[in-house]
């Protein structure tokens, strides 16, 4: 009898695990960037970039092209940004990205990310802010209310990225993989409260890494994964962050692949700088969001 009861308990635990996994949709290929035309599919993507001031932007490019090390066709995004030389406080934030044309039903994004080059130089004196360069996937997944169309206020934003900070003590060819969830308090999410962050390990420069993010509203959490490593979770309290509305941000939540640079402002020379050159390949989404 004890064996029978024990086996039943084990079976219940296994079935519970299967049930929990079944709540997350399977992933299907959205884009592999193998088009012979070597251009972004306008039915799937639209491009966007931002500069806090015209004199702080350096290089910026988005192009479907062959990656020279592995020889695959991928989306190459690069971004170079300089800090403000008129200030010793704060940072200059600049992004270069492609946005899923219709992200309304996307709750999972998976992509292979390969960072080719990175630079992140901080201010030698006067400004303690870090300079950060990041290659990211993510977006806005729900709104806690009240919601305004084309406005990220009260949206919950989640991302996973390969990045380098100016104060990093890692070897120069090492990038940190980080997951972050944030609740936005203004139109472009430049202000807000961090719900949680998780360290997913590291990857070396010029090496491919598969990154995944999944919103799991049944369990009130976001799921993150690096390659085949164990999943990592960031949970939230629905009493504080109710899943009330779809995201207010445009295109169904501005889900994106991007390069983001946050550069410390500094009056000293040489100018502070953030730079990253990234290839994205084999983008997957949840099955119900497939084009």
Per-residue pLDDT tens over the stretch 26-82: 999 999 998 766 788 999 999 998 855 556 667 899 999 999 999 999 999 999 999
pLDDT of residue 53: 56
Are the CB atoms for 163 and 185 separated by under 8 Å?
A: no
Does residue 15 surpass a pLDDT of 60?
no
Instruction: Please determine, for residue 21, whether its predicted confidence score (pLDDT) is greater than 70.
Output: no
> According to the model, what pLDDT value does residue 58 have?
74
- CA distances from residue 87 to 262, 264, 269, 284 in whole angstroms, order as listed: 15, 9, 12, 42
Beta bridge partners of 71: none
Weakest-pLDDT range from 61-65, 161-165, 235-239: 61-65
Residue 245 clears pLDDT 90, i.e. is over it: yes
**Residues 175, 163 contacting (CB under 8 angstroms):** yes
CB-CB neighbours of 64 under 10 Å: 18
Half-sphere exposure of 208 (CA within 13 A, CB side): 17
Q: What angle do CA 44, 175, 232 make, to 5 degrees?
A: 70
Q: Where are the beta strands (DSSP E) in 51-154?
A: 57-66, 73-82, 91-100, 108-121, 132-143
Of the two residues 113 and 270, the one the predictor is more confident about is 113
Closest C-alpha to 217, from 16, 17, 18, 23: 23
The pLDDT, as a whole number, for residue 35 is 72
Residue 236 backbone phi and psi in degrees, to 5: -145, 155
pLDDT at residue 1 in the model: 45
Higher-confidence residue of 14 and 107: namely: 107
More confidently predicted of 4 and 148: 148
Q: What is the pLDDT of residue 119?
A: 97
Residue 176 has pLDDT above 90, yes or no: yes
Sequence spans of domains, the chain: 28-289
Measured distance CA(253)–CA(40) in Å, rounded: 20
Identify the pLDDT of residue 5.
42
Residue 234's contacts (CB-CB under 8 Å, 6 or more residues apart) are: 158, 179, 180, 181, 195, 196, 197, 198, 221, 222, 224
Supply the pLDDT for residue 126.
85
Kindly tell me if the per-residue pLDDT of 180 is higher than 50. Answer: yes
Residue 113 contacts residue 276 (beta carbons within 8 Å): no
pLDDT at 260 over 80: yes
Whether pLDDT at 249 is above 90 = yes
**Residue 118, Cβ density class (10 Å: 0-12 exposed, 13-18 middle, ≥19 buried):** buried
Residue 117: pLDDT band with limits 50, 70, 90:
very high
Percent of the chain at pLDDT > 70 equals 89
Helix ranges (H only) for 198-269 are 250-253
Domain 28-289, what architecture? Sandwich (2.60)
Average pLDDT, the chain: 90
Structure tokens at 78: 């690069």
Residue 230, number of CB atoms within 10 A of its CB: 7
Which helix (H) or strand (E) segment holds residue 178: the answer is strand 174-184
Band (118; pLDDT cuts 50, 70, 90): very high
């Amino acid at each position: 009898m004890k064996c029978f009861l024990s086996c039943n308990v084990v079976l219940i635990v296994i079935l519970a695990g299967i049930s929990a996994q079944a709540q997350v949709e399977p992933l299907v290929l959205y884009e592999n960037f193998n088009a012979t035309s070597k251009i972004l599919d306008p039915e799937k993507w639209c491009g966007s970039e931002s500069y806090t001031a015209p004199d702080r932007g350096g290089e910026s490019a988005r192009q479907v092209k062959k990656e020279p090390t592995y020889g695959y066709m991928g989306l190459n995004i690069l971004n170079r940004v300089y800090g403000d030389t008129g200030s010793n406080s704060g940072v200059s934030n600049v992004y270069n990205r492609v946005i899923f044309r219709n992200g309304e039903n996307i709750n999972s994004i998976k992509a292979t990310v390969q960072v080719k080059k990175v630079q992140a130089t901080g201010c030698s004196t006067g400004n303690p802010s870090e300079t950060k360069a990041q290659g990211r996937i993510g977006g806005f997944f729900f709104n806690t209310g009240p919601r305004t169309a084309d406005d990220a206020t009260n949206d919950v934003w989640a991302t996973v990225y390969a990045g380098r900070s100016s104060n990093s003590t890692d070897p120069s060819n090492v990038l940190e993989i980080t997951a972050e969830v944030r609740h936005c308090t203004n139109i472009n999410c430049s202000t807000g409260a961090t719900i949680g962050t998780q360290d997913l390990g590291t990857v070396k420069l010029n090496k491919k890494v598969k990154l995944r993010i999944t919103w799991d509203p049944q369990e009130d959490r976001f799921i993150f994964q690096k390659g085949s490593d164990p999943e990592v979770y960031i949970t939230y309290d629905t009493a504080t962050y109710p899943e009330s509305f779809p995201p207010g941000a445009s295109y169904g939540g501005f889900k994106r692949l991007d390069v983001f640079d946050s550069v410390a402002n500094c009056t000293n020379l040489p100018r502070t700088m953030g730079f990253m050159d990234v290839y994205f390949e084999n983008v997957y989404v949840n099955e119900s969001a497939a084009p």
